[in-house]
Every structure is written in structure tokens, then in C-alpha cells.
Structure 1
């Protein structure tokens, strides 16, 4: 088995905090008294170094575990079960097992999951996206294990990024629809704070319109998560406020499917009365009586490629790596 890079150690924390290793261990295990100033100094050193206590004992600690940690933001969004399917396929027959945590799009919960999973010294970690708390990033960087940040490639990864550019996907959406003759664009979206990738696609769309001397004529966005119901409600609100677009781009297929349902209820026929375009290429959109025009991301391939890359090379390369798994436009019939 390839030699693993040594992560942050108890000695590193002790050196930074200017105390003994025994003192650090005692404070982290909450055993015995410690001066408040000493405790604060040790905990600050832990946060700064990204140190994670080792939950494995004895000989196992030196060789790691047969685990691959995986953190995704949701299991109700069909996108992520498909990613997990790719991860499972890559692990099949490898001797490794995935341990999965769900963050609910909450970076504080993600930080707790990072600490918990790294404490078991996994062989590698797969985590969705580039957004992490400073403490979580420090733990991931200092862990000494392979780290794959998946679903996007628009930033520099800690180690390995696998996915596609959401800025480019948004730009290509705009270019495609401009090529179809649309000029009055609306946008319906969901919470950008929880879903950075949706914001990046929006920004790419805006850039494509700007390159043609255009801009969005109307926008409607909910502060909650994406859903079919939210898409239906937000399209109704967008059309009620005016001005009327000739095409509406949605943050994803859940929202766009809701838009289709609003059109059915309001007697609007896409694309004759209003064109609709989504993102993700979900089965539900393609099963509609009028298949949704959208862009399909390669989610299964993303999960499988990430794990295959991590297990093929167990030590981090000198420079971060980026793997683009791409996407494709599904013409559908709503735009």
C-alpha cells in the first residue's frame, strides 16, 4: 500500500500551544483540570492546525481504515443519490466502504461531519462543493488523506476537484437559448446562500446575455430550498409582476417542473406562450407530456470518477487536480 502523508499530529498542536502533548490530550479528552487560559490556547491551536483526534487504536492507527468518508448536502435531492451510486460503483470490489454524512446545506453541520469522519482516519474523503468553514478547511487540508471536492470546478480545490463549471453551464445555457431566437429572458431561482452552484449558473447566464447586449428582464427567487412547489409559485409571481419574458431559465429541474405545472394550470402552452429551461436533466422533467428543455450533468460519472482517482493514487499530488465530467443540453420541447 502506498505510504500516506502524515497529517497534523498532537505534537504539532502542543508545539503551537506551548504545552506538553499530555496536556493537549487531557484537554481534548476533558480529563482533569486545566487553567482556562491554557484550555483556550490549546483549542485555538487545534482550530488553527486542523488537528483531528484519532479514533483508531494501536496498529490500525498507522495504516488507516478501510473507509471512504462522503459528505453530501442532501439525500432528498435526486442529484446526490445518483452521485452516491457512482461512488458505490467505484468502491465495488475495492475492499473499501463508504461512510456517508448529510449536511443539510449547513456548513456548521458539515464541519462536525468532517471532524467525525476524519477521526476514523478514512483512506479518502469525498465532499460536495468548495464552501467550508475555516475550521473544516483546516481539518481537510491537514488530514493527510486524499480529498475530492465534487460537483463543481470553478475554484481551486484542496486536492482534487471533479465535476463541471457551473459558470460555463450558465453561459452555455444563455448561448443556446439566444441561438434559438429568445431575447427577453426571465429567471426563477432558489436560495443562493445554500446553493452556491445555482448562483454561479445564474452569473454565467447573465454573462452570456451581456455578450449579446442583453440583460434579464425579470427575476423571481425564493429564499427557501428548491422544490416543484416553489417553482410553480415563483413562476406565477414572476408573470404577475411583469414585464413578460419569452423564456424563463430556472435554477434547476425541480423548479422548472413546477413552472410547467403553473403553465398547465394557467392555460399557457410551452414554448408557444412561454419557453422554459431547467438544469440537471432529471427523469421527471423528461417524463412530462412536454419534455423539459434542460442541461444534464453527469452525476453518476462524477461520483465514480472521484473515488477511482482517489484510490488509484493514495497520496496527494504536488498540485491540485481538476477533472471535468462535463454536461449536455437536452433539447426537450419546452424551449
Structure 2
């Protein structure tokens, strides 16, 4: 088995597949005559090992380039531009430059983006989330460079990790809601199979409710489209279906903003008749009629910490540094939509 502390080579794939290095090279470059059975054996071995061909030729072939691969699910989600700001703040003072790949929350897309980026031999990888395909995890383990998974610490990291506990964030929000006397609680959010961090917040949220003898009274999910528009639509739908709800917890601030705008239009008293809270602490929404209760997800700080790890660890070429785990603590902001007074000290 290859040493996980060094980059994989053609020899490693050759030994794993039982064919010559020249044959492995032909297969991976898609050149020359190779039988279908041999091609499949080589490709399976390469994928299992996490081998990525090196696109840097000649004298530079054993070197790293001054790029940091940053792999995130979306740039339309307002969370990740702030993460990128934090990364850039740190890398601006170094020779390293970030290059961004977008996965659209799809595991197969993440795998393809990672493969392409690693083929250029970057100096480090910053990648969102802890959930990856087996092939992606193999590539990250075999890369031989600093890898930092960001946004989430609820799971097993490949190498270093910087983020918050989303389960803890969900629990703390549920406890804050219950302290204010709300009991008929609904949930509106993104579809969980694709958004792992929202799923973990929901799990922590429902666990805290269950300990108090409560459960989510109704729920509604969405995927795609304008989040604010969807927030308006889903809030109307869930309140038409369950008018007894006295609180709605939104998986992010944007759909929460849509819900708040709907309530304002419909004449629903917030927070007296209906309380609401979101997640992410987006400053752009400060101009809403009421300040939405939310939780700051430490986005820029996550970006800065991750970039600092890459800078420090990529400079240590002789002795690999130990993985780093940094868990940040999000701040609960009660805003004006989480009723104060009942149980508030």
C-alpha cells in the first residue's frame, strides 16, 4: 500500500493493478492500444487509491504551484462569498492564490472538480463539508498536501477541519425558542439529502425539542428558485395548513426573510402571534421591517482559519504537521422576531 504521507505515483497504480507503468500511463492518457479489461483494472485501481495524474510537465513535474484549490457548493448562496473573503484576506499576504471550483451540492460534481484541480498540483485544498464520495475521500487522503474541510465539525475529517457544530447550533436555537414560551413549532428548510449542514441543524433542533417532550408540529421543504420567494410561499402554505403554529424555524435567513415579508403583508403579528428565526446572520437583511432572530455561522473566520492552516502547513515540507481541528462557536442573535420576556433573564 502506498505511503499516505507522499503523493501517489504511476508505480503505485501499476503495483495495484498488476500491469506496467507504461500501460498505466497509456490508460490514464487515453492513448495507445489497451484491452478493455486492462483499462478497467487500471481505472479501478487508480480510483480506489485516489491517484490523480500530474498535468505539470518537465522540470516542474515534482513541484507544487502557488494555488489553493477552494471547492464550495455555490457562489449564489450568500454564505460562501464571505468565506472566500476570509480566505483571500489571509492569502493576499502570501504567494498563494485561491482558485475556486463549484459543485452545486452534487457529490459527482465535487469528485470531478477535485480530480481536475488536484491534477495541477496545488499547494493545498479547502473544501466545504465532511461528506464526500469514496473516490473524493481517497483523492484527498492521497494528495500529499494540506487539506482543510470547512463549515462543519460534526463528522470524521480527512485531515484538518474548521467549522461549527451544526447539531449544537440546532439544539441551542430550539432551547432559545422554548425559553420564550413557544410550543407549536414549525420548520421550513432546504431538502436535506443535499444540504448536510441543514440536516444536522434539524437533527439537533428536533433532539432538543424531544428532550422537552415536544416535536416539530409541521414542516415544509423546498429546492431551487429564489429563497425569499420560496420563503413567502412556504410560510403561507404551512400557516394555511397549520394555523395553530406559534413559531417557525427556517433553515436559513433568506427563506426566513421571505416568511417575515409574508407575515407583514398578511397582518400577522411578529413576534406576538408568530415568532420566527433563521440561520447564518446575513447582514444584507438588516433592512427588513424587523430584525430576524438568527445565528452567526462564523463564515469569514472559518475562511481565515482554514487559509492560515494551509499557509502554515504548506511551508513545512520536511516534517508533515499534525491535523488541526478548530470548532468555532456561533452567536445567537435574538433580533426582534424571537419574543423576549417569558423566561428571559
Contact preservation (8 Å) 2:5, 2:142? no
Query: Partner of 2:200: helix, strand, or coil?
Result: helix
Q: Distance in 2 between matches of 1:148 and 1:60?
A: 25
How many aligned residue pairs are there?
331
Partner of 1:35: 35
* 1:85 aligned residue: 85
Give yes or no for contact 1:10–1:24 (8 Å, CA) kept in 2: yes
Query: Offset at 1:225?
Result: 6.4
Secondary structure of 1:177's counterpart equals: helix
The answer to whether the 8 Å contact 1:217/1:243 transfers is: no
d(CA) in 2 for partners of 1:172, 1:59: 54
CA contact (8 A) 1:191 1:225 kept: no
Report the 3-state secondary structure (helix = DSSP H, G, I; strand = E; otherwise coil) of the residue aligned with 1:62: coil
Distance 1:255 1:264, change over 3 A: same
Task: Give 1:231-242 correspondences, 5 Å limit.
Answer: 231-242=231-242
Normalising to structure 2: TM-score of the pair?
Answer: 0.93
2:330 is matched with 327
- Report if the CA contact (8 A) 1:159-1:317 is conserved: no
Root-mean-square deviation (CA), in Å? 1.5
Matched, 1:263 2:263: yes
Structure 1 CA distance for aligned equivalents of residues 170 and 65 of structure 2: 40
Residues 176-185 or 200-209, more deviating: 176-185
Structure 1: 5+ residue stretches without partners: none
Please state if 1:67 is matched with 2:67: yes
Unaligned runs of 5+ in 2: 339-345
1:287 is aligned to: 287
Stretch of structure 1 that moved more, 47-56 or 213-222:
213-222
Structure 1 residues 226 and 195: CA distance shift in structure 2, 3 A? farther
CA deviation after TM superposition for structure 1 residue 284, in Å? 3.1
**Residue 219 of structure 1: aligned partner:** 219
For 1:114-125, what aligned pairs fall within 5 Å after superposition?
114-125=114-125
Q: Does structure 2 conserve the Cα–Cα contact (< 8 Å) formed by 1:162 and 1:323?
A: yes
Determine if contact 1:192/1:198 at 8 Å carries over to the other structure.
yes
Q: Aligned with 2:302: secondary structure?
A: helix
Report the Cα distance in structure 2 between the residues aligned to 1:190 and 1:290, rounded to whole angstroms: 23
After TM superposition, the score normalised by the length of structure 1 is 0.95
Give the Cα–Cα distance (whole angstroms) in 1 for the partners of residues 60 and 280 of structure 2: 41
Once residues 135 and 156 of structure 1 are traced to their aligned partners in structure 2, the CA distance between those partners, rounded to angstroms, is 16
Q: Say whether 1:101 aligns with 2:104.
A: no
